[in-house]
């Protein structure tokens, strides 16, 4: 009997029938990225999105002073997508780069459109994923304003411990909107408890 497809977990809980699921899974293509490969570069228009089967990926922007600032981290089971670029067909302002060797499942824009318009359950799953991503982004942007750096770090530790264990402190610090020095101090403070 064949091994269950990784994407079965991604679509678990959706209302896709067995036939629809089979049809959807057949459209995804397994791709590998090596550490430091770019999935998407600033100025390009996103033509694909990916589900991460293994590895770590981050998105980042370059600020006005030339610093790279992490906007998100992705790992197993996450969808890697620049929503505005993918849907509005605009050039992205972000870079998306592999932090380790990665295996992903890729779907291109045209195939997505075909599935979106022909399979109602796929469309609903897509909407649910988009809404979940929007809520996470909104929560992070409010947290950057309203929460102490220590609380932001503790939340990241709770929600994504694998990120904290596998990603550089410099990248985590930029994601949290703090300096490496502040992050080191927070980590020492937490470890001392």
Tens of each residue's pLDDT in the chain, 193 residues: 344 578 888 888 788 888 998 899 999 999 999 999 999 999 999 999 999 999 999 999 999 999 999 999 999 999 999 999 999 999 999 999 999 999 999 999 999 999 999 998 898 888 888 899 899 889 999 998 999 999 999 999 999 999 988 999 999 999 999 999 999 999 999 888 6
Residue 141 counted as domain residue: no
CA distance 14 to 191: 40
Question: Are 21 and 79 contained in the same domain?
Answer: yes
Question: Are 109 and 159 contained in the same domain?
Answer: no
Contact between residue 129 and residue 81 where contact means Cβ atoms under 8 Å apart: no
The last residue of one of the domains, among 132, 161, 177, is 132
Report H helices in 147-179: 149-159, 161-166, 169-176
The single-letter DSSP state of residue 78 is: -
Q: 88, exposed or middle or buried, with CB in 10 Å at 0-12, 13-18, 19+?
A: exposed
CA distance 91 to 93: 7
């Amino acid at each position: 009997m064949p091994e269950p497809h990784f994407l079965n977990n991604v679509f678990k809980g959706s209302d896709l029938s067995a036939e629809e699921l089979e049809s959807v899974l057949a459209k995804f293509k397994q791709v590998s990225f090596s550490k430091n490969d770019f999935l998407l570069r600033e100025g390009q228009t996103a033509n694909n999105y990916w589900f991460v089967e293994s590895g770590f990926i981050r998105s980042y922007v370059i600020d006005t002073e030339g610093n790279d600032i992490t906007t998100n981290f992705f790992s197993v089971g996450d969808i890697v997508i620049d929503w505005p670029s993918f849907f509005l067909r605009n050039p992205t302002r972000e870079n998306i780069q592999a932090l380790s060797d990665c295996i992903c499942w890729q779907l291109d824009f045209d195939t997505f459109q075909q599935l979106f318009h022909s399979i109602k359950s796929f469309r609903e799953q897509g909407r649910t994923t988009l809404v979940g991503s929007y809520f996470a982004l909104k929560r992070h942007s409010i947290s950057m304003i309203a929460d102490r750096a220590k609380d932001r770090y503790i939340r990241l530790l709770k929600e994504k411990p694998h990120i904290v264990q596998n990603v550089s402190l410099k990248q985590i610090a930029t994601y949290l909107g703090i300096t490496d020095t502040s992050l080191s101090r927070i980590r020492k403070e937490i470890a001392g408890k």
